[in-house]
């Protein structure tokens, strides 16, 4: 890092020395010509690349990049000949104005020229709800923006505005509506998260259950949340569905027998011992390839109350670490 800093300082000193030498021997005018020439050369290269890209993409902006390329080439020519230096000033001013206009356009890209000059209230009155919503959102009037987005049929944008306003319950209601209308599980997850943020845990559970129908590994989360709500009946139903999911997974990948065993324990089912034994067998097979798995063997034996076997497995694990 220090070496890079030294190189940068050396480069800056070298540039300053060259600039001072040019001014001393040839005057300030030549230095200005060189600086402007280098600047417009870079601008010309940038516009040339952008022109090629926009032409290839058949973009309407190719005309603007062509204008930029022509003006930068002309400015570069003037830097060399210095016949009409005032034209360089005109081009620089034009570039500055174009940059200002461009930034202004980018700030509200979805609005037409007329809509940009109208107030949010007048746009709302005339039925241009999308444009009005953009204006309200920019002014951080999120409730009004959300209302306009809803009237414009842009429900996701409305949900984002309610989220920014901290009205998580309203965001959740919109995502729940979208989930029912579009039949996409993603929206159920969003509804669950926002209901949970709003403190409406029962609705959050219901939405998470709907999501778990497509993504079954979330049944466990749903069960835990129902327990938090205090609905033991719904929690047990969710645990049973989580159990079904993990049993299917365990039949393909033995590591999931641990999850099966833990759920059986929660449910007070004696099948937990059988699941722990299957997990032990899986861990022993894995320990033949990776001795660190003896730690899991020891933990599983402890769950089964087999203290001596747990101690033997722990010794094998500790020996593997030496």
Mean pLDDT within 91-104: 85
Contacts by residues 213-216 (CB-CB < 8 Å, ≥ 24 positions apart):
213/185, 214/185, 214/188, 215/185, 215/189, 216/241, 216/242, 216/245
**Would you kindly state where each structural domain of the chain is located, as residue ranges?**
2-107, 126-166
pLDDT of residue 275: 93
Based on DSSP, count helices (H) and strands (E) in the chain, helices before strands: 18, 0
Mean pLDDT on 279-302: 89
pLDDT at residue 53, as a whole number: 92
Q: What is the pLDDT of residue 234?
A: 94
Structure tokens at 150: 């809803």
The mean pLDDT of the chain is: 88
Q: Are 121 and 108 within 8 A, CB to CB?
A: no
Interatomic CA distance for residues 200 and 173, integer angstroms: 11
pLDDT at 117 over 70: no
Per-residue pLDDT, averaged over 256-267, amounts to: 92
Lowest-pLDDT choice from 25-34, 93-102, 222-231, 283-292: 25-34
Q: Residue 15 phi/psi, 5° resolution?
A: -65, -45
Tell me which range, 115-129, 222-236, 294-308, is most confidently predicted by mean pLDDT.
Answer: 222-236
Residues 159-179, mean pLDDT to the nearest whole number: 95
For residue range 136-157, what is the model confidence (pLDDT) as tens digits? 888 899 999 999 999 999 999 9
Q: Is the pLDDT of residue 2 over 80?
A: no
Predicted confidence at residue 118, as pLDDT, reads 73
């Amino acid at each position: 890092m220090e070496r890079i800093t030294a190189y940068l300082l050396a480069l800056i000193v070298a540039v300053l020395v060259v600039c001072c030498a040019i001014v001393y021997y040839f005057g300030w005018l030549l230095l200005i010509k060189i600086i402007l020439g280098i600047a417009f050369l870079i601008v010309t290269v940038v516009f040339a690349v952008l022109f090629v890209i926009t032409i290839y993409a058949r973009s309407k902006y190719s005309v603007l990049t062509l204008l930029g390329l022509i003006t930068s080439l002309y400015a570069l020519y003037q830097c060399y000949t210095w016949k009409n230096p005032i034209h360089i000033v005109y081009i620089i001013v034009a570039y500055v104005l174009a940059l200002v206009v461009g930034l202004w356009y980018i700030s509200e890209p979805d609005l037409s020229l007329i809509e940009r000059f109208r107030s949010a209230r007048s746009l709302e009155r005339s039925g241009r709800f999308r444009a009005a919503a953009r204006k309200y959102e920019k002014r951080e009037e999120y409730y009004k923006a959300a209302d306009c987005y809803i009237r414009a049929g842009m429900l996701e944008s409305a949900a984002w505005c309610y989220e920014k306003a901290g009205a998580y319950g309203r965001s959740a209601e919109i995502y729940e509506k979208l989930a029912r209308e579009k039949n996409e599980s993603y929206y159920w997850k969003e509804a669950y998260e926002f209901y949970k943020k709003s403190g409406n845990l029962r609705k959050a559970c219901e939405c998470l259950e709907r999501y778990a129908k497509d993504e079954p590994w979330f049944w466990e989360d749903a069960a835990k949340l129902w327990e938090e709500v205090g609905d033991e009946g719904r929690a047990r139903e969710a645990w049973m569905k989580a159990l079904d999911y993990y049993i299917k997974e365990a039949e393909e990948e033995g590591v999931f027998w641990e999850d099966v065993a833990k759920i059986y324990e929660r449910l007070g089912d004696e099948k937990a011992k059988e699941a722990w034994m299957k997990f032990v067998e899986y861990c022993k097979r894995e320990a033949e390839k990776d001795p660190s798995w003896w730690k899991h063997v020891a933990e599983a034996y402890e769950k089964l109350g087999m203290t001596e076997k747990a101690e033997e497995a722990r010794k094998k694990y500790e020996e593997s670490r030496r």
